[in-house]
């Protein structure tokens, strides 16, 4: 059996791919664990690192908006699909048609390809806190109504509903996970939240950078290590754990940006923190102000998932696991 991952060349896709390769097993909708033969990484961009050289990895370059290509990639040997390919927040705001085509039509193509399989696959969909918006309570939870205030958030909310409906019909066994902002990305992308990674990564790499929001701005964040734990856990849980409620808010810690800067100071000294210049950008500030700050993910916690303890824990894990390799590559 095979696993297919869309967005397989992205930040989270690459990290999850390595975790899945280390585990070596796939789980289909019947809950049976089987050693997988292939991990198919599907992305519009070509994978060019170590991962692509693993004999179990097959790379397919293509567009999820192209239904025919996807139908070839998601075939009768597919036990599970991780759907991560997306045009992220600021990208979808900048190009409405592209966002709609990739995020909505692309998701529909993924689900339709799954529907045509002889055995319904298990599907993990990367949703986002961007599904929330409008007049939000101080702390959001699974029951908070969805009023997305970006096109990207609207596409993710539509994806969640489709995951639920295709699961209800028995076409697949889907789980939509609402990710908070995941730290620390190795390079920027078009997400409005990308600066949160940049203000940690760049100064610790010895480079000057800027922070586009007021340090008092609060964000819900999680380390990539904790996220991978949550994704794998959600993937392994039986369908009964989700029932009719296929979307799940993941745990996160609420951190003022000032706390991220303080964690950089503790990890890299005053010289590192001084490399962060405050350069307010009203557009980014407006988007960040619309995001939920506090997260009550009681349901995910009851299912066995957890957040990081502190921002220092997130920064320290970046320093221990990623920074040495990045420093070496930068030389």
Ligand X SMILES: NC(=O)c1ccc[n+]([C@@H]2O[C@H](COP(=O)([O-])OP(=O)(O)OC[C@H]3O[C@@H](n4cnc5c(N)ncnc54)[C@H](O)[C@@H]3O)[C@@H](O)[C@H]2O)c1
Catalytic residues: 152
Rule CB under 6 A: choose which of 21, 44, 232, 326 binds ligand X.
Answer: 44
CB 79, CB 28: distance < 8 Å: yes
Rule CB under 6 A: choose which of 41, 81, 88, 247 binds ligand X.
Answer: 88
CB 40, CB 85: distance < 8 Å: no
For ligand X, which is the closer residue by CB, 86 or 314?
Answer: 86
∠ CA 135-157-128, nearest 5°, is: 80
Q: How far apart are CA 193 and CA 323, in angstroms?
A: 20
CB of 13 to ligand X, least distance (A): 5
Count other C-beta atoms under 10 Å from residue 152's C-beta: 25
Question: Does 95 help bind ligand X (rule: CB under 6 A)?
Answer: no
Q: How far apart are CA 120 and CA 171, in angstroms?
A: 5
Count other C-beta atoms under 10 Å from residue 118's C-beta: 6
The residue behind tokens 């990739």 is: 102
Site string for ligand X, 176-215 (x = CB under 6 A): ---x-xx------x---x----------------------
Closest CA to 6 of 125, 118, 145: 125
CB of 221 to ligand X, least distance (A): 8
Candidates 81-89, 248-256, 272-280, 314-322; binding stretch for ligand X (CB under 6 A): 81-89
> For ligand X, how many residues bind (rule: CB under 6 A)?
27
CB of 307 to ligand X, least distance (A): 14
Candidates 11-19, 20-28, 72-80, 108-116; binding stretch for ligand X (CB under 6 A): 11-19
Q: How far apart are CA 61 and CA 47, in angstroms?
A: 9
Mapping DSSP to helix (H, G, I), strand (E, B) and coil, where does residue 150 land?
coil
Token output for 293: 């700050």
Q: How far apart are CA 329 and CA 304, in angstroms?
A: 36
Rule CB under 6 A: choose which of 3, 80, 102, 213 binds ligand X.
Answer: 102
Question: Does 45 help bind ligand X (rule: CB under 6 A)?
Answer: yes
Question: Does 100 help bind ligand X (rule: CB under 6 A)?
Answer: no
Question: Does 47 help bind ligand X (rule: CB under 6 A)?
Answer: no
Token output for 54: 């693993």
Q: List CB contacts of 291: < 8 A, sequence separation 6 or more.
A: 129, 130, 132, 133, 219, 220
Rule CB under 6 A: choose which of 29, 65, 220, 252 binds ligand X.
Answer: 65
For ligand X, which is the closer residue by CB, 13 or 268?
Answer: 13
Beta-bridge partners for 33: 27
Token output for 218: 């609060």
Question: Does 11 help bind ligand X (rule: CB under 6 A)?
Answer: yes
- Sheet containing strand 253-256, strands side by side: 181-183, 218-223, 253-256
Q: Which residue number has the CB closest to ligand X?
A: 10
Question: Does 109 help bind ligand X (rule: CB under 6 A)?
Answer: no
Question: Does 63 help bind ligand X (rule: CB under 6 A)?
Answer: yes
CB of 151 to ligand X, least distance (A): 12
Rule CB under 6 A: choose which of 1, 3, 4, 13 binds ligand X.
Answer: 13
Rule CB under 6 A: choose which of 36, 82, 84, 291 binds ligand X.
Answer: 84
* Kind plus residue range of the DSSP H or E element containing 219: strand 218-223
For ligand X, which is the closer residue by CB, 7 or 293?
Answer: 7
Interface residues with ligand X (CB under 6 A) are 6-7, 9-13, 43-45, 63-65, 84-88, 102, 106, 126, 128, 179, 181-182, 189, 193
């Amino acid at each position: 059996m095979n696993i297919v991952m869309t967005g397989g060349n992205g930040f989270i896709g690459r990290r999850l791919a390595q975790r899945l390769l280390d585990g070596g097993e796939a789980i289909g909708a019947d809950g049976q664990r089987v050693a997988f033969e292939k991990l198919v990484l599907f992305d519009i961009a070509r994978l060019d690192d170590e991962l692509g050289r693993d004999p179990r990895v097959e790379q397919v370059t293509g567009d999820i908006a192209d239904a025919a290509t996807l139908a070839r990639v998601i075939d009768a040997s597919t036990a599970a699909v991780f759907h991560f390919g997306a045009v992220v927040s600021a990208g979808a705001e900048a190009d409405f048609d592209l966002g709609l085509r990739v995020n909505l039509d692309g998701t529909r193509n993924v689900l339709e390809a799954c529907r045509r399989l002889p055995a319904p696959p298990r599907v993990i969909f990367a949703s986002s806190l961007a599904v929330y918006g409008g007049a939000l309570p101080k702390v959001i939870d699974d029951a908070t109504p969805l009023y997305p205030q970006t096109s990207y958030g609207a596409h993710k909310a539509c994806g969640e509903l489709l995951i639920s409906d295709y699961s209800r019909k028995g076409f697949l066994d889907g789980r939509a996970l609402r990710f908070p902002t995941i730290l620390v990305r190795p390079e920027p992308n078009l997400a409005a939240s990308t600066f949160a990674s940049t203000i940690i990564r760049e100064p610790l790499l010895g480079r000057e950078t800027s922070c586009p929001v007021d340090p008092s701005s609060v964000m819900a964040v999680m380390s990539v290590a904790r996220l991978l734990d949550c994704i794998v856990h959600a993937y392994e849980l039986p369908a009964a754990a989700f029932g009719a409620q296929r979307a799940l808010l993941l745990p996160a810690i609420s951190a003022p940006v000032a706390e991220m800067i303080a964690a950089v100071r503790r990890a890299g000294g005053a010289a590192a923190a001084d490399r962060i210049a405050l350069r307010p950008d009203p557009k980014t500030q407006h988007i960040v102000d619309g995001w939920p700050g506090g997260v009550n993910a009681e349901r995910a916690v009851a299912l066995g998932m957890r957040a990081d303890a502190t921002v220092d824990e997130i920064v320290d894990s970046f320093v221990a696991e990623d920074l040495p390799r990045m420093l070496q590559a930068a030389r």
